[in-house]
Amino acid sequence: MANIVVDSSIVIKWFVTEPLSQEARRVLEGYQSGALTLIAPDLLAAEIGNIVWKKVRTQGMAREDALQIISAFRELEIELTPTMSLLEDALRIAMTHERTVYDALYIALSEREQCIFITADERLVNAVNKTFPNTVWVANWTLQS
């Protein structure tokens, strides 16, 4: 079973149809088949909550649907790593690559665990891929990656 870092841009697509949802669901299928272990900084929970809140507030998502998404998200067995343990490395990455610390936390975890980090954020991948080749855009990812 391979570890794989996922961010909120991937996880939200499992519950809400957006561009690249089909590609993101391949990651979920790998997890459900037992081929992948999902890991993320504990920041992921707050990010998912905030995305769902925004969808209720600005896109008309029903509150019941929002609560259902959060319930389903909580049932996933994503190994959450304390942000505090990644913060120094994330800050270094953020300063060097002029990316947010939020994004850098996922990269730092991927580096620590020496595994792939999958994101739907193509701009992030393009900005860091030369230094962090394990940061992969979901459209380019296959289970064999």
The tokens describing 89, both together, are 């490395």
**Average pLDDT, rounded, for the chain:** 95
44: in domain: yes
pTM assigned to the model: 0.93
The tokens describing 4, both together, are 């794989």
Identify the pLDDT of residue 144.
65
pLDDT band at 142 (very low <50, low <70, confident <90, very high): confident
Identify the pLDDT of residue 143.
76
Q: How many structural domains compose the chain?
A: 1
The tokens describing 43, both together, are 């920041």
Identify the pLDDT of residue 88.
98
Tokens 């459209």 label which residue? 139
pLDDT tens-digit series, residues 55-94: 999 999 999 999 999 999 999 999 999 999 999 999 999 9
- Boundaries of domain holding 66: 2-140
145: in domain: no
Identify the pLDDT of residue 29.
94
What is the CATH number for 131?
3.40.50.1010
Which region, left, alpha or beta, applies to residue 98 given φ > 0 means left and ψ of -120 to 50 means alpha? left
Contact status, residue 2 vs residue 115, Cβ threshold 8 Å: yes
Type of residue at 97: H
Task: Find the radius of gyration of the CA atoms of the chain.
Answer: 15
